[in-house]
Chain A
Amino acid sequence: AQSVTQPDIHITVSEGASLELRCNYSYGATPYLFWYVQSPGQGLQLLLKYFSGDTLVQGIKGFEAEFKRSQSSFNLRKPSVHWSDAAEYFCAVGARNNNDMRFGAGTRLTVKP
């Protein structure tokens, strides 16, 4: 079965600095990969997704992610972080029919003024 590892539990960056959140997956076939963001008291919001094609994916709120098959990675990046980006970020890998999506444990992002 598929699985996801997010190696960083907590990351702190200064406002305006660049951000990279790491995600490694394990799946035998072509993965369907997602990044979600969860703010306190809210549900998950989809930032971006990758199924096939161009390995650099653009998402909402200025985020992008790059799929690297050779490294089994799907890291999330943002060139300049805003204070409103402070939240919990989840990487997920989907299976056929989306009925067994596996999430990582999440990375909590703190943004310093």
Chain B
Amino acid sequence: ETGVTQSPTHLIKTRGQQVTLRCSSQSGHNTVSWYQQALGQGPQFIFQYYREEENGRGNFPPRFSGLQFPNYSSELNVNALELDDSALYLCASSLGRPSSTDTQYFGPGTRLTVL
């Protein structure tokens, strides 16, 4: 039990639609990262937020965007969904300022299927 929750658990969308995934971090966790995990692969870094500002981005197009809110919740938005966006989306939070030494606490993920 990491204290990080994600909603919804599962989601089915069609190509071209837009989706919003939500994450609720532990109180006091100012850093949140989002990852995409395709079937049979390891997670891939999408982006990170610290105190509501983007703090780094992986190799994902601009149609992947995010928001972080003062109440330690965050969102991942994906526009113009493509079939390849089907994956498990994970959020991970950590305490304080972003640091390579800080432990990330992962949520259980949202399984997105794009038809």
Contact A45 B2 (CB under 8 A): yes
A95 to B33 alpha-carbon distance, docked (Å)? 14
Query: Chain A residue with minimal CB distance to B101?
Result: A51
Q: Are A99 and B2 in contact (CB under 8 A)?
A: no
In Å, the complex CA distance between A32 and B41 comes to 21
Chain A min CB distance to B82 (Å): 22
Classify the interface of chain B: helix, strand, loop or mixed: loop
Give A104 to B100 CA distance when docked, in angstroms: 17
Number of interface residues of A (CB under 8 A): 26
Size class of the B contact interface (CB-based, 8 Å): 20 to 34
Within the complex, the shortest CB–CB distance from B83 to chain A, in Å, comes to 21
Whether the pair B103, A99 counts as a contact (CB closer than 8 A) is no
Per-position contact with B for A30-56: 1 when CB-CB < 8 Å, else 0? Answer: 001000100001111110010100000
* CB of A101 closer than 8 Å to a CB of B: yes
Which residues of B from 1 to 56 have beta carbons under 8 Å from A?
A: 2, 4, 31, 33, 40-45, 47-48, 55-56
Considering the chains assembled together, what is the distance between the CA atoms of A108 and B11 in angstroms?
25
Q: Mark A78-113, 1 if CB is under 8 A from B, else 0.
A: 000000000000101011111111111110000000
Given A99-B56, A100-B56, A41 contacting B104 (CB threshold 8 A): no
Q: A94-B100, A98-B100 are in contact. List 20 more A-B contacts (CB 8 A).
A: A32-B100, A42-B108, A43-B92, A43-B106, A43-B108, A43-B109, A44-B106, A45-B106, A90-B42, A92-B42, A95-B100, A96-B100, A98-B94, A98-B101, A99-B47, A99-B55, A101-B33, A101-B104, A103-B44, A105-B42
Residues of B that sit less than 8 Å from A by CB:
2, 4, 31, 33, 40-45, 47-48, 55-56, 58, 90, 92, 94, 98-104, 106-109
> Would you list 11 pairs from A and B whose C-beta atoms are within 8 A, ordered by A residue?
A42-B108, A43-B4, A43-B108, A44-B92, A94-B100, A97-B99, A98-B101, A101-B45, A102-B45, A103-B43, A106-B40
